[in-house]
Amino acid sequence: MNEYVARIRVRMSAHDAHYGGDLVDGARVLALFGDVATELLIVHDGDEGLFAAYDSVEFLAPVHAGDYIEAEGRITRVGKTSRAISFVARKVIAARYDLGPSAADVLEEPLVVVRASGTCVTPAALQRK
């Protein structure tokens, strides 16, 4: 199986904050997983495919506006049309509003904030690879 890893790194903005304390909605990280899945399917099948379902989602640590999040995914199983994908999102830079309005720290060890697994489908007629 192809060990291709799709990865995206994004700064969470004030626009992403949905709750008090500049807390970012977990759905924002799931949207990053959707982008990662799209890249994986394009590389694997030559088509964007469709996200069918999440099998599991674990929110493990808070994400705040100003944090940098790196989301990655890899295909773990390939069926005729289905592709099982595992995802992980890590905080790599943390906003430090406690120190100043623009302070931030690069984390020595990235912090896992969300883990998930899901299934995507690329219809056979659209698979070009």
AA identity, residue 55: D
Q: What is the pLDDT of residue 126?
A: 79
* pLDDT > 70? residue 2: no
- State pLDDT tens for residues 69-115: 999 999 999 999 999 999 999 999 999 999 998 999 999 999 999 99
Helix residue ranges per DSSP H, the chain: 26-45
Cβ within 8 Å of residue 99, ≥6 positions away: none
Q: How many CB atoms lie within 10 A of CB 109?
A: 7
What is the spatial distance between Cα 33 and Cα 70, in angstroms, rounded to a whole number? 10
Which domains does the chain show, CATH number per domain?
Answer: 5-126 (3.10.129.10)
